[in-house]
């Protein structure tokens, strides 16, 4: 492991520790959020010439879309679709999405913690991964229902 990789791993370990604590301790998460807001870091990347209240989202260009993929709010909920409409409907929904959005779904729901699919370029492969993982999670524990 190179020096830069070691440094990257240390930073990642630190951020993971912070995230785990925030996940398990809601008071800590609130303190963290307050501190972050007060620090002004959240606005550091924003256009400071305009008041925040009137700030409008920048139009998504092809370039920014590639760099800032769809968020949890803008991606379809695969679990909701699977539960409400079934596997065929989920496949039809996923078929209509681009690769960046499919990857955002995978990331948002942590369907591939090892991020193996990040290297896949075939949409079908990512769609199959989403369906397999959603089906597995949805049916998780079914075998335990009757003993």
Please choose, out of 3-11, 42-50, 83-91, 96-104, the segment that lies near other proteins by the rule CB under 8 A. 3-11
Rounded CA-CA distance 130/112 in Å is 9
CB of 69 to other proteins, least distance (A): 20
Query: Judged by CB under 8 A, which of 9, 41, 55, 118 binds other proteins?
Result: 9
Least gap, CB of 61 to other proteins (angstroms): 33
According to CB under 8 A, which one of 116, 118, 122, 124 is a site residue for other proteins? 116
- Catalogue the long-range contacts made by 74-82 (C-beta closer than 8 Å, 24 or more residues apart): 74/104, 75/101, 75/104, 75/105, 75/108, 76/105, 78/105, 78/109, 78/130, 78/131, 78/134, 79/109, 79/134, 79/137, 79/138, 82/134, 82/135, 82/138
| Cα 134-109-17 angle, rounded to 5 deg | 135
Nearer to other proteins, 23 or 47 (CB): 23
132 lines the binding site for other proteins (CB under 8 A): yes
CA gap 50, 55 in Å, rounded? 6
DSSP state of 46: S
Please tell me whether residue 2 binds other proteins under the rule CB under 8 A. no
Smallest separation (angstroms) from other proteins to the CB of 47: 35
Judged by CB under 8 A, the residue of 27, 44, 96, 147 near other proteins is 147
What is the binding site for other proteins (CB under 8 A)?
Answer: 8-10, 12-13, 16-17, 19-21, 23-24, 110, 112-117, 129, 132-133, 136, 140-144, 147
């Amino acid at each position: 492991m190179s020096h830069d990789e070691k440094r990257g791993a240390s930073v990642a370990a630190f951020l993971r520790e912070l995230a785990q604590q925030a996940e398990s301790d809601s008071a800590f998460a609130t303190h963290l959020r307050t501190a972050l807001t007060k620090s002004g870091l959240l606005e550091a990347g924003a256009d400071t010439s305009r008041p925040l209240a009137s700030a409008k989202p920048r139009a998504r260009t092809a370039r920014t879309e590639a760099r800032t993929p769809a968020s949890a709010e803008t991606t379809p909920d695969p679990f909701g679709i699977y539960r409400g409409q079934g596997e065929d409907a989920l496949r039809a929904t996923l078929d209509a999405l681009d690769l960046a959005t499919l990857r955002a779904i995978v990331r948002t729901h942590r369907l591939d913690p090892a991020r193996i699919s990040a290297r896949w370029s075939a949409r079908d492969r990512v769609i199959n991964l989403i369906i397999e993982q959603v089906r597995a999670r949805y049916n998780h524990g079914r075998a335990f229902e009757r003993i």
